[in-house]
Amino acid sequence: MKIAVEGCAHGELEKIYDCIETLQEREHIKIDLLICCGDFQSVRNTEDLRAMAVPDKYQQMCSFHKYYSGERRAPILTIFIGGNHEASNYLQELPYGGWVAPNIYYMGRASVIKFGDLRIGGMSGIFKGHDYLQGLWECPPYTPNSLRSVYHVRSLDVFRLSQLKEKVHVMLSHDWPRGITDYGDKEFLLRRKPFFREDIESNQLGSVPAEKLLHTMKPDYWFAAHLHCQFAALVKHDEGSETKFLALDKCLPKRRHLQILNIPSEFDGDKTLKHDEEWLAILKYTNHLLSVKNIDCHLPGPGGNERYDFTPTPAEKEAVSKLLQDTRITEDSFVRTAPVYNPKAPKTAPSNPISNPQTVNLCEKLGIDDPVQVIMARSGRTMKQPCADLNKSPYNDFKSPEVDKSLVRTPAKCTKLSLPDPVTPNENDSEDTNRNSSLSTEISYLSDSTSATTPECATPMSVGVKKTFKRRNLSIYNSLDNDESVSTSSSMLESDSPRSNKLPCRGTVL
C-alpha cells in the first residue's frame, strides 16, 4: 500500500493530483490513498468564500469546485482534516465526517477511520486556549468572531480521542504538537525560520492538546502542516515504541509539500474506507457531553459520580456494529447541498445552515446529535434542505481530460535522508538556490526491516500561471502580521484570534 501525504493544500487540487500522476509515472508506482493535513479549502461556490477566514481580496476560487460539480473526478481516494482556512459552513454540515465530493472524504472535527486494516485518526482545526473549553456554539451566518473560533479545537474532541485504546497507526493534525521540536533538528529549523525562536524557547509553539494525544495515543506516524515548512522528528516513548513525526509545507513550487509512504502489505486489507467501531462507540456514549453554549464547559473526571472512562467495552462496540450493519463508507452517499460555482454570482454571506443527509443518516443510526441542528432547534430556526435539482449535474458523465504532459514539469531526482535520525531537509525557505531543490525521505514503518521509498515532487505548474499563483499564495499565507495561518503560539493569552462574546445561550446544557 502506498500513501501520499500532503501538507497545506490551499485549494490547489489539480496541481496536487498532477504532481502525484507525475510521480507515479516516473517511479512506476500506484498511489492508493492521498491524505491532506488541513487548509484543504473545499470551496463550492462564491457563498462558501465568505465563510473562509481570509481577507476579502484573497477570496479566490481555486479548483475544488470542479470536483464538487462533477466536471472533474479525484483520480485517487482523498481524505483530509480541516485547518484554519476552510469553507467552514460546508465542513460544519459534516461534524462527524462525510464526502465533500466524489472520492474526497472529510474526516470531521475529530475521528478515526480505517483504510484497509490501517487505522487513521485526525483532529481538525488549530488550538487557541481561550476557546478550547467552549461548546460548539458557532453556526452560519457567522460573525467576525465566530468565523475564526469555529475552527478552533475543542476539549470535547480531544476528550473523545483520548478514550481510544486500540492502536492508531497514523494520526493527523493541522498544527504541530507542542514540544515536537525537541525531538528533531531544532537548530537547523531556527536557521530557516528564526522567528520561531521566541515561541520555541517559551514552549508556546504548537498545540497543547496535540502534545497530550501524541504521548497517550503513541501512533506510529504523526503528520501535520500549518507552519509552512518541512520538519522531521522521532519521538521515543517509555515502553519502547516510536512515533515518526513529519510536518509538510504548503502546495507551491519547490516546496516540500508531498511525501510518499510505503505501508507493509499486512495493512492492505480490502483497501476500502470504513468506519471504526471503537470510535463510533465513543461518539455514541459521549453524546450527552455535547454542549452548544459559548461558555466554558467542563468534562467528567476522576472523583465525580458520573462515568468518565468511555473506552468502549466489547458489548458496546458490538451494539454499534449492529446499529450500523455495514461499516463501509461508500461515496454513493454523497449529496450536493449547495449550488455549483457560477462565476457570475455575487459573493454573498452564508445564510441558514444546510442539512446534509450524510450527517442525518449517521446521527439517526447511532442516536447522536448534530451540533448545528441542536443550535438551530434552540433558536427556533430550521435548517435548509438540499434541493434535489442540485444533484442533476451536467458533468455526471463527464470524464476528466487527459493532462497535457508538455505542461507538467518533471521533478528532479532526489537525494535521501533516513530516520530514526530525523534531520529537517537542507533548504532555506528563502530560496537558497545553492541547495538541492528536491529531497526524498526514507522512513521505516513498524519495523527496522521495512522501509518506504518516498520520492518528492516539485509541484507541476501550468504555462503562464506561475507568477500569479506564487504571488497570491505568498500574500495570503506568509504574512505573520495579518494572518493566523502562520501563527505559532498556543498561549492562553493569544489575541490574534478574536474572543467570542462568552454570553451564555438560553436553555439548558446538552
For the cut 90, the answer to whether the pLDDT of residue 100 exceeds it is yes
Which of these, 129, 130, 259, lies nearest to 206 by C-alpha position?
Answer: 129
CA distance 370 to 222: 28
Give the H or E element holding residue 237. none
pLDDT in tens, 375-417: 999 999 999 998 877 776 555 444 444 444 444 444 444 434 3
171 DSSP β-pair partners: 121, 222
User: Dihedral sign, CA of 484, 490, 494, 498?
Assistant: positive
More confident residue, 119 or 471: 119
Reported as a pLDDT band with limits 50, 70 and 90, residue 352 is confident
Mean pLDDT over 280-284 rounds to: 98
pLDDT in tens, 146-186: 999 999 999 999 999 999 999 999 999 999 999 999 999 99
Give the side-chain half-sphere CA count within 13 A for 352.
15
CA distance 39 to 450: 32
More confident residue, 84 or 505: 84
Domains of the chain, residue spans = 2-486
Which of these, 367, 360, 369, 365, lies nearest to 337 by C-alpha position?
Answer: 360
Strand ordering across the sheet containing 110-115: 231-236, 242-247, 221-224, 170-173, 118-123, 110-115, 273-275
Cβ-contact 336, 389 below 8 angstroms: no
For residue 387, the model assigns a pLDDT of: 80
